[in-house]
Structure 1
């Protein structure tokens, strides 16, 4: 995995009127380990895997 500044990553960030930062993520539940999978340039989401099982559509 190449580390460094990826300006495309900023596509998943949104600043609110109250100066808070929202991060768009796509979470995959029930993974073998929790980790950051990468950035999807098409959906502009961070892809994250978590070990937690989905409950009611939430992980």
Structure 2
């Protein structure tokens, strides 16, 4: 698996190196190069929460 980090993330090279140590290749890109965004879904007990990366825009939707 290759991970792409946004420029500026290299401030946390300890995490990047830890991921590299367990086999993840990586590349640090500038914003103009494009990258995936963070999408998160969380369930606590019977409650669901969702979030998207506000830098890219988007919305949340639940399908039951």
Structure-2-length-normalised TM-score: 0.24
Structure ranking higher in helix proportion: 2
Look at both structures and tell me which one has the larger radius of gyration over its CA atoms.
Answer: 2
